[in-house]
Amino acid sequence: MKIGTPKETFAGERRVAMTPDSATALQKLGHTCVVETGAGSEAGFADADYAAAGVEVVKTAAALWKAADVVAKVRAPDATEMKRLREGQTLISFFSPVADEAKMQSAAKKGATVVAMEMIPRISRAQKMDALSSMANIAGYRAVIEAGNNFGRFFTGQITAAGKVPPAKVLVVGAGVAGLAAIGTSTSLGAITYAFDVRPEVAEQVESMGAEFVYLDFEEEQQDGSSSGGYASVSSPEFREAQLAKFRELAPEVDIVITTALIPNREAPELWTEDMVASMKPGSVIVDLAAEKGGNCKLTVADEKIVTENGVTIIGYTDFPSRMATQSSSLYATNIRHLMTDLTPEKDGVIDHNMEDDVIRGATIAHAQEVTFPPPPPKVAAIAAAPKKEAAKELTPEEKRAAETAAFKAQTKNQVTLLAIGGALILLAGLYTPASFMQHFIVFVLSVFIGFQVIWGVAHSLHTPLMAVTNAISSIVILGALIQIGSTSGVITFLSIFGVFMASINIFGGFLVTRRMLAMFQKS
């Protein structure tokens, strides 16, 4: 089939749904590719690049829509493009089925198939097609860059001859894909980074990236993330009040706030109120990644940057991925290419739109002259809930002592049994082997036993660096090679020099690897 990508008609949109690299991969699936002239120019992909990749370049959008069996776009089609959509044609793009219900009904009536990229289920198998995550990752990164561009100081602290510069304090609200990208970028720039999320289970991810997770003194049973497709769930009014109280406490201290809280097909929750903005220091920056859906900040204006009376800059841009068009286009085109791989299982250029497949069914909003939105829940949960553990029974002091005694007896019995078996084997070996062998063999057995006991007592996370330093220490065999270098035999001398060389690599490499790996466990 022929896959076509037109130039985006949405004002300011610079991304493109097909790149020369993705076109090459699509052709390996048996498809042919066509692109409208200039479609990728603002993303850094010239028509000549597409032609070199074997892509047909057509002059007009009308010609492309007429020729293509599958049309891949970034933004939802406008009214003109909807008129060009025909029966049997497949459209792949962001679509917003709730907001564009009339367009969805129109596409179904025409007999076209529409695949909405934001409806890709958040299950493990579909991660490679998850365009929302791809774009959110870029938006989180770009949000920090935009904040830095509007912030009047360094992110990292500095001590110079001219004086001391304190590090910036950054608060990231929401630790989803965009939030984690923002956290990673902020910490790498040297800022003191705080993060909050209604899902306490993400605290470990936040802290592993060098940020501090903001906890609330509030107990509420959180919904399983799978109930909302892997997104944060709506919280109770009591939880929301506790959350806002914590933000009011942090507002005067932080320099930069990046809000990312958004659930698909819903208005963005208001998390940063007007009084919080008023309490922030002059020169502070707020970047609202939910501006397209109303914003998490009360004062956010979509697609604009404003400065409040107290000198706080609020950025409400809705085109963060488009501001990094080359990178965004590459990732989005890869998402579509993976989707086409699933739609073309035989790699013969023929699309098999299998509505029994969780991923394809979940993303399809119109097919066979029917509206197929909303999709049924996927057979595989988005995020598996951890099984609830039964509370351990409280033991009485007598029961605890009895359990400890039984465990000690069992351990002692096992050790005595192993020693008896080992002693019998050594005695048996002594009856049939020379005395010189037994001396070395006993030393070997003791070394194995001591080594086992030492390694068994080391935390699992340190096993790899432990083995690296053990590797270095074991290269004491270099002493034997050094002794043999003075041999009268040329062959032995050569082998000794080679042995010294190899053992030296082992020694220096082992200690170097150990040092680098142990540095990973140190907190900065």
* pLDDT band for position 222 (cuts 50, 70, 90): very low
Give the model's pLDDT for residue 145.
97
The bridge status of strand 163-165 relative to strand 158-160 is antiparallel
- In one-letter notation, the amino acid at residue 488 is T
Task: Work out the burial of residue 122: count CB atoms within 10 Å of its CB; fewer than 13 is exposed, 13-18 middle, 19 or more buried.
Answer: buried
User: What is the C-alpha separation between 492 and 481, in angstroms, rounded?
Assistant: 9
Q: How many CB atoms lie within 10 A of CB 389?
A: 6
Backbone phi and psi for residue 286, each to the nearest 5 degrees, phi listed first:
-120, 125
The mean pLDDT of the chain is: 87
* pLDDT band for position 32 (cuts 50, 70, 90): very high
* pLDDT band for position 452 (cuts 50, 70, 90): low
Q: Where are the extended beta strands (E) located within 89-157?
A: 90-93, 113-116
Give the model's pLDDT for residue 225.
41
- In one-letter notation, the amino acid at residue 436 is S
Give the model's pLDDT for residue 464.
61
- Is 266 annotated as catalytic? no
Beta bridge partners of 307: 313
How distant is the alpha carbon of residue 392 from its chain centre? 35
Where do runs of H (alpha helix) occur along 251-324?
A: 274-279
- 8 Å CB contact between 454 and 470: no
Higher pLDDT, 421 or 430: 421
Q: How many CB atoms lie within 10 A of CB 354?
A: 13
DSSP letter assigned to residue 126 = G
The bridge status of strand 285-288 relative to strand 313-315 is parallel
Backbone phi and psi for residue 63, each to the nearest 5 degrees, phi listed first:
-65, -40
- Which of the residues 105, 124, 127, 447 is marked catalytic? 127
Asked if pLDDT for residue 131 goes beyond 90, the answer is: yes
- Which of the residues 22, 89, 93, 133 is marked catalytic? 133
- Which of the residues 50, 231, 317, 332 is marked catalytic? 231
Q: How many CB atoms lie within 10 A of CB 277?
A: 21
- In one-letter notation, the amino acid at residue 127 is Q
Higher pLDDT, 389 or 73: 73
- Is 127 annotated as catalytic? yes
> The dihedral of CA 242, 248, 254, 255: what is its sign?
positive
At 42, list the tokens. Answer: 């603002």
- Is 133 annotated as catalytic? yes
Higher pLDDT, 43 or 233: 43
Arithmetic mean of pLDDT, 17-22: 98
Q: Where are the extended beta strands (E) located within 185-264?
A: 192-196, 212-213, 256-259
Give the model's pLDDT for residue 161.
82
Give the model's pLDDT for residue 521.
61
3-class state of residue 326 by DSSP: helix
Q: How many CB atoms lie within 10 A of CB 445?
A: 14
User: What is the C-alpha separation between 16 and 72, in angstroms, rounded?
Assistant: 9
Give the model's pLDDT for residue 99.
86
Give the model's pLDDT for residue 488.
82
Q: For the ranges 148-152, 163-167, 317-321, which has the lowest average pLDDT?
A: 163-167
User: What is the C-alpha separation between 205 and 193, in angstroms, rounded?
Assistant: 13
Determine the length of the chain.
524
* pLDDT band for position 472 (cuts 50, 70, 90): low
Q: CA angle 140-143-144, nearest 5°?
A: 95
- Which of the residues 75, 122, 337, 361 is marked catalytic? 122
* pLDDT band for position 4 (cuts 50, 70, 90): very high
- Is 122 annotated as catalytic? yes
Give the model's pLDDT for residue 238.
87
Q: Where are the extended beta strands (E) located within 149-251?
A: 158-160, 163-165, 169-173, 192-196, 212-213
* pLDDT band for position 509 (cuts 50, 70, 90): confident
The bridge status of strand 313-315 relative to strand 113-116 is unpaired
Give the model's pLDDT for residue 513.
75
At 273, list the tokens. Answer: 């109120």
User: What is the C-alpha separation between 340 and 335, in angstroms, rounded?
Assistant: 9
DSSP percent split of the chain into helix, strand, coil, nearest 5: 50, 10, 40
* pLDDT band for position 94 (cuts 50, 70, 90): very high
Among 167, 175, 179, 178, residue whose Cα is nearest residue 255: 167
Higher pLDDT, 518 or 177: 177
At 419, list the tokens. Answer: 């020693």
Backbone phi and psi for residue 94, each to the nearest 5 degrees, phi listed first:
-65, 140
- Is 323 annotated as catalytic? no
The bridge status of strand 313-315 relative to strand 370-371 is unpaired
Where do runs of H (alpha helix) occur along 151-219?
A: 177-188, 203-208
> What secondary structure does DSSP assign to 32-96, as a single string?
EEEEETTTTGGGT--HHHHHHTT-EEES-HHHHHHH-SEEE-SSPP-HHHHHH--TT-EEEE---
231-240, 309-318, 456-465: which is most confident: 309-318
- 8 Å CB contact between 370 and 109: no
Q: For the ranges 28-37, 167-176, 216-225, 345-354, which has the lowest average pLDDT?
A: 216-225
Asked if pLDDT for residue 380 goes beyond 80, the answer is: no
15-19, 100-104, 435-439: which is most confident: 15-19
- 8 Å CB contact between 202 and 284: no
- Which of the residues 130, 197, 255, 288 is marked catalytic? 130
Higher pLDDT, 384 or 472: 472
Give the model's pLDDT for residue 364.
97
Tens-digit pLDDT profile for residues 485-506: 888 888 888 888 888 888 888 7
Arithmetic mean of pLDDT, 35-54: 97
Higher pLDDT, 221 or 5: 5
Through-space distance between the first and last CA atoms of the chain, rounded to whole angstroms: 54
